[in-house]
Amino acid sequence: MPDPTAPDSWSLATIAVSAGRPPHEPDQPLNVPITMASTYGATGALEYGRYGNPTWTAFEDALGALEGGRCLAFSSGLAAVATVLDLVGQGARVVAPRHAYNGTVMQLTDLEARGRATVQLVDVTDTHQLTAACEDAALVWLESPTNPALELADIEAVAGAAHEAGAYVVVDNTFATPLRQRPLEMGADLVVHSATKYLSGHADAMLGAVVTADDQIHEVLKGRRDLTGSVPGTLEAWLALRGLRTLHLRVDRAEANARALVDRLREHAAVDEVRYPGFGGIVAVVLSGGPDAADRLVRATSLWVHATSLGGVESTFERRRRWNSEPATIPDALVRLSVGVEDVEDLWRDLAHALDQQR
């Protein structure tokens, strides 16, 4: 009979709080210390600061347990993305969402411009088109929900088609977090996070992560990280781990706030469209007054902050088409909202007041 007190029986909320801790022994700290070291004594497992750090390991253990695999931390989400894309062979074909994180799409565009890969961008909501595109692909990159269109992909169906074609599947799980979606259980080979966002959750640490259940892929990625030096800062890893401890509380509160705001936004005359995937704290609205109204909105609030990042305890929003690299298929009046954990009535009063000025 399984031990009901064993870690493998814990809920994800308990894992977020408990994984990556020092052993329960007298005089052991409850939290892993910040190990500020670039060099270690010779002939051990670490040797040099580019190869490992106990503080990174604690974060990696915790996130790996949440996602159901082995984690590697990187200096940023884009460093994690670049390390995974670096595994694509010369001239290989990559399938990716037409709407995705700008940094990922720009890296793919750069690979194609240099003749390193061919890239096919697809509509992830069209499962037939997406699964058909897997043929002859080496890598299928997914976001679900996509950024900033908030579209959902059928990860299980795509993973099945990709594996039949001999392709690896990567899912950027930054928006959903492992609390709302565990892609490895759905057939993905790798999961990527910008841990800067929800995982750390306080807009004070830049960090990336890759998780896989494949030991061989893990070792290859570890070798690439060692070689390129795209390693996380020790303080950043510690901050991200501290933030991870409250991930379940923050995601639950942000999601509850988002649901309440979505219902009200759908009734507001200044809003032409509301996009919400049904979970999480990210919402997108398209204003009926066009891009000028969207620009006015992000300047008209006192509580909501106009900022490009997301996933923090504070509520932020941004008109995405202000970036030249944003696809033309994203409405120019779309504003992406990252709903925080403030009192929802305060959030709504501030937002409604700003929306009323756009009518």
pLDDT digits (tens, 9 = 90+) for 177-197: 999 999 999 999 999 999 999
- pLDDT one-digit tens code per residue, 107-163: 999 999 999 999 999 999 999 999 999 999 999 999 999 999 999 999 999 999 999
Tokens (6 digits) for 259: 């649901």
d(CA 44, CA 323): 47
Q: Active site includes 276?
A: no
Q: Active site includes 197?
A: yes
d(CA 56, CA 325): 33
CATH number of 7-244: 3.40.640.10
pTM above 0.75, yes or no: yes
Domain 248-356 has CATH 3.40.50.720: no
Q: Is there a shared CATH topology between the 7-244 domain and the 248-356 domain? A: no
What pLDDT is attached to residue 324?
83
Out of 21, 50, 98, 180, the active site residue is 50
Q: Active site includes 51?
A: no
Out of 197, 319, 320, 321, the active site residue is 197
The packing angle between helices 247-265 and 344-356, to 10°, is 40
The packing angle between helices 290-298 and 344-356, to 10°, is 140
Out of 101, 168, 198, 276, the active site residue is 101
Q: How far is CA 334 from CA 20, 56, 273, 274, 359, in A?
A: 39, 37, 9, 9, 16
| Domain extents in the chain | 7-244, 248-356
Out of 93, 116, 168, 172, the active site residue is 172
Checking if the pLDDT of 297 tops 80, the result is yes
Query: Can you tell me whether residue 130 is helix, strand or coil?
Result: helix
Q: Active site includes 101?
A: yes
- β-sheet with 190-194: strand ranges across: 70-74, 208-212, 190-194, 168-172, 139-143, 92-97, 117-122
